[in-house]
Amino acid sequence: MLWKGHPTFASTQTIFTILKADWFHLVENEYVEWDHKATRECVVPGAHGTALTVPWGGMAHPVWFKDDPRVANVTATGGVLDRAVMDGVVATTGMFEEQIKPLEPAAQEAALADIAASLQADMPPRENPRINTSIDSVYASGPLGRAHVAIHGNQNYKQTGLLQAYAAYSLLQQPPKRVGFASGCQAFGHRELLGVLRQFALVLKPIVTIHD
């Protein structure tokens, strides 16, 4: 997941709170912990370049697919397309590991809050569809098949708000498709969520490439 623009004040606070957690990917149906300083260079679909991503950007995919018999390996990373912002995130992660992690929990919270406030102290402009864009890109592969899906969108926070509104609307009509810790697609249906995002012109039609 990649997006363009800057996070809100609240999102920035949340991002830096996540630095205290451990992060995992799925390797042959087993959780494997990421190195806390790990990064990934990812190809940006539809662009002549790459983007720097990290494994802790709200990526719960390894948990969602842990018991799916079709899936054995899951790696998920995300970030913003502004390289300078991501370089700052990586530097802050390193500083957390070296200087803040040894502190008591309360001192960690205070230090991270101060860093977050220094990076994003007020609400950035929203939501300009020419600036606030997003790209979801998924590669899936098996012994004799490969597929890639890319979904280009805009107005990232409107997407989030719309999905939350649809989830509330759906729960008033019927039980979720899955209970417990599940993804939005598992709980409410991927076609339904894509349909409502398309209806409000927040994403393009998915680009699907299949080789078998």
Lowest mean pLDDT among 98-102, 115-119, 183-187: 115-119
- Across the range 103-112, mean pLDDT stands at 87
Give the pairing of strands 2-3 and 79-80.
parallel
Query: CA-CA distance, 153 to 203, in Å (whole number)?
Result: 4
User: The whole model's pTM is what?
Assistant: 0.89
pLDDT of residue 42: 93
pLDDT digits 0-9 by tens, 6-29: 777 777 777 777 888 889 999 999
Task: Confirm if 3 and 135 have CB atoms less than 8 A apart.
Answer: yes
What band does 58 get if pLDDT is binned at 50, 70 and 90?
low
What band does 198 get if pLDDT is binned at 50, 70 and 90?
very high
CA count, 13 A, side-chain hemisphere, 115: 20
